[in-house]
C-alpha cells in the first residue's frame, strides 16, 4: 500500500535568527571607458562599494553603492548603528542610521547610506521567506523591465598617463554624430534597447542637436532623450527645445535649478526630466508649484532605498508627474535592485537608464540571473535580489581598488590632466 508522507515544513526563522550579526563593507574599483559628460571624463576606474549583511542564522544580504572616502566612513557609522537589529525592521534601521550619521551631512547622503543597507536587508528578508524582493515590495506589475541605450560621447581610449600605456576598449571613438550612431548600432545590436538617451553637455548645443537628428534618422521609431546635466542657460535651453521640437521623448536637466527649469518648461513642447533639481522628497512641493519638471528620474541609491522609491512613484502619480530611473556606473547588485523596484512600481512610465553595457563585464555577481533581452531585464526569480556574489571577482576588484589608491570620483580633475584650462563651470553655453 502506498502511503503519503508530508515533509516537515522548513522552520520559520525566529526574530533572534534574523538579527544582524556581521556587516562587511568592501570598496572595489572596476574599469570604465573614457565617457565624456558636462564636467569632464570618466576615469579608467570606478570606485564603488559592496555591502554584505549577515544574520545570526547565517543568511546573507547584498547591497551596492557609490564609493568615496567619506562615503566609506559614513557606511561604517551606519553599519555600527544597526548591529543587532532585525532585518525586517527597516523603518527603525533608517532612524538609527540617520540618527548616527553626522547631523551636518546632507539628507541626500544620509538617504544614500541607508539605501545600501535597506537593499541588503530586503535581500535577506527574501531569503528568509522564500520570496523575491519585488514580491516584498508589493509584487510585480511587469515581469520585464525596459532600459534605454545610454549613449556617451567618448574618446577612442584612455590616453597614456604617468608612464602607463593607453587603455583601449571595444566601443571606439564617438565624438560626432556618425560616431554616436555607430555606438548606438552596436549597443542596440547587443542589448536590443527600444529607446535612446544621449549624455550631452559636452559640445556646443548645435552639435548635440545634429547628433539627435542623426540618431532620429538612423532609428526613426525609437524615443530619444538628451541630458546635458545643466550645461545650458535658460535661453539656450529654450532655443534647444525649439530646435528639437518633435524629436525628444524628454529633455533632461537642460539648466540648473527649479526656477530655471520652470522657465524652460513653460516654453518647451516636450516634458522636462530631472535627476538634479528634484532629488529628495522635500524638493517636490516647490517643483509642483513651479511645474519645473514633468518627469522625475528616481534612483533608489539616493531616494532612500527601494520602498521610498516606490513611494516616490505614488507621489508622482498624485501630481501627474512621469517616473523614469537614473543610473550611475554600477554592477549587478544595483541592477538587480533597480529591476526589482521597477517591476514593483506601477507609476514607472519610462524605460530606465543603465550604465551596465559600459561596466557589466566587470560584474561581481555570477552570470545568469540578469540578462538583457530586447532591451529589457526579466525580474530574477531566485529569492531576495536573486543574484549571487562571485567572491573571486570581489577579491580581484578590491585589490584593484587598493592598488589604485582611489579616494573619490573626479571627472573634472581627470580631464584637466589632458586639458589644464578645462573648467566645470556650468551653465557653459
Ligand X SMILES: O=C([O-])C(=O)C[C@H](O)[C@@H](O)C(=O)[O-]
Footprint on this chain of Mg ion (rule: CB under 5 A): 227, 252, 275
By beta-carbon proximity to Mg ion, the closer residue of 30 and 250 is 250
Q: Is 42 a catalytic residue?
A: no
Partner touching 400 among ligand X, Mg ion, none, CB below 5 to 8 Å by kind:
none
DSSP string for 135-159:
HHTT--S-SEEEB-EEEE-B-SEEP
The three-state secondary structure class of 268 is: coil
By beta-carbon proximity to ligand X, the closer residue of 18 and 264 is 264
What is the Cα–Cα distance from 3 to 280, expressed in whole angstroms?
A: 60
> Do strands 376-378 and 372-373 pair parallel, antiparallel, or not at all (unpaired)?
antiparallel
Q: Phi, psi at residue 378, to the nearest 5°?
A: -70, 140
Closest to 249 in 3D by CA, of 328, 345, 350:
350
Write down the least CB distance from residue 145 to ligand X, Å: 17
By beta-carbon proximity to ligand X, the closer residue of 199 and 310 is 199
By beta-carbon proximity to Mg ion, the closer residue of 32 and 252 is 252
Residue 227 lies near ligand X (rule: CB under 6 A): yes
What is the Cα–Cα distance from 195 to 262, expressed in whole angstroms?
A: 26
Which residues have CB under 8 Å from 178's CB, separation 6+? 214
Stretch that binds ligand X, among 105-113, 215-223, 288-296, 327-335 (CB under 6 A): 327-335
Residue 233 lies near ligand X (rule: CB under 6 A): no
Stretch that binds ligand X, among 74-82, 322-330, 331-339, 386-394 (CB under 6 A): 322-330
Positive or negative CA dihedral for 390, 395, 400, 405? positive
Residue 230 lies near ligand X (rule: CB under 6 A): no
What is the Cα–Cα distance from 384 to 131, expressed in whole angstroms?
A: 6
Helices 305-319 and 90-100: angle between axes, nearest 10 degrees: 100
What is the Cα–Cα distance from 134 to 140, expressed in whole angstroms?
A: 6
Residues in the interface with ligand X (CB under 6 A) total: 11
Site string for ligand X, 331-370 (x = CB under 6 A): ----------------------x-----------------
Q: Among the options 47, 199, 300, 340, which is catalytic?
A: 199
Residue 64 lies near ligand X (rule: CB under 6 A): no
Q: Is 326 a catalytic residue?
A: yes
List residues with catalytic annotation: 199, 326
Binding site for ligand X (CB under 6 A): 35, 37, 199, 227, 229, 275, 326-329, 353
Amino acid at each position: 500500500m502506498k502511503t503519503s508522507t508530508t515533509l516537515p515544513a522548513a522552520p520559520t526563522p525566529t526574530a533572534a535568527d534574523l538579527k544582524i550579526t556581521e556587516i562587511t563593507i568592501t570598496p572595489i574599483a572596476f574599469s570604465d571607458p573614457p565617457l565624456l559628460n558636462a564636467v569632464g571624463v570618466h576615469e579608467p576606474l570606478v570606485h564603488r562599494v559592496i555591502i554584505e549583511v549577515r544574520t545570526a542564522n547565517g543568511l546573507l544580504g547584498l547591497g551596492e553603492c557609490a564609493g568615496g572616502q567619506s562615503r566609506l566612513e559614513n557606511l561604517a557609522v551606519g553599519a555600527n548603528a544597526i548591529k543587532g537589529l532585525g532585518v525586517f525592521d527597516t523603518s527603525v534601521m533608517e532612524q538609527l542610521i540617520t540618527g548616527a550619521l553626522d547631523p551636518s551631512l546632507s539628507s541626500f547622503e544620509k538617504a544614500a547610506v541607508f539605501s545600501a543597507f535597506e537593499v541588503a536587508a530586503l535581500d535577506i528578508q527574501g531569503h528568509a521567506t522564500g520570496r523575491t524582493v519585488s514580491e516584498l515590495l508589493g509584487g510585480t506589475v511587469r515581469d520585464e523591465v525596459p532600459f534605454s541605450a545610454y549613449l556617451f560621447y567618448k574618446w577612442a581610449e584612455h590616453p597614456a598617463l604617468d608612464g602607463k600605456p593607453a587603455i583601449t576598449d571595444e566601443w571606439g571613438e564617438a565624438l560626432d554624430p556618425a560616431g554616436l550612431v555607430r555606438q548606438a548600432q552596436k549597443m542596440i545590436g547587443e542589448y536590443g534597447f527600444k529607446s535612446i538617451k544621449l549624455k550631452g553637455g559636452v559640445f556646443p548645443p548645435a552639435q548635440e542637436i545634429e547628433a539627435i537628428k542623426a540618431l532620429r534618422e538612423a532609428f526613426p521609431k525609437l524615443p530619444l532623450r538628451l541630458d546635458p546635466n545643466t550645461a545650458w542657460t535658460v535661453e539656450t535651453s529654450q532655443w534647444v527645445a525649439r530646435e528639437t521640437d518633435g524629436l525628444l521623448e524628454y529633455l533632461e536637466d537642460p539648466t540648473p535649478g527649479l526656477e530655471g527649469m520652470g522657465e524652460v518648461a513653460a516654453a518647451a513642447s516636450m516634458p522636462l526630466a530631472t535627476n538634479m533639481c528634484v532629488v529628495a522628497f522635500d524638493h517636490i512641493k516647490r517643483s509642483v508649484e513651479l511645474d519645473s519638471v514633468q518627469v522625475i528620474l528616481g534612483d533608489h541609491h539616493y531616494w532612500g532605498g527601494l520602498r521610498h522609491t516606490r513611494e516616490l512613484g505614488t507621489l508622482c502619480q498624485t501630481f501627474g508627474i512621469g517616473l523614469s530611473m537614473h543610473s550611475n556606473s554600477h554592477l549587478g547588485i544595483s541592477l538587480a535592485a533597480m529591476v526589482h523596484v521597477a517591476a514593483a512600481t506601477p507609476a514607472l512610465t519610462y524605460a530606465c537608464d543603465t550604465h551596465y553595457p559600459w561596466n557589466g563585464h566587470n560584474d561581481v555577481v555570477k552570470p545568469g540571473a540578469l540578462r538583457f533581452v530586447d532591451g529589457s531585464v526579466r525580474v530574477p526569480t531566485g529569492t531576495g535580489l536573486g543574484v549571487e556574489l562571485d567572491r573571486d571577482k570581489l577579491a580581484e576588484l578590491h585589490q584593484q581598488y587598493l592598488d589604485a589608491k582611489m579616494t573619490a570620483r573626479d571627472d573634472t580633475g581627470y580631464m584637466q590632466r589632458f586639458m589644464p584650462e578645462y573648467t566645470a563651470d556650468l551653465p557653459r553655453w
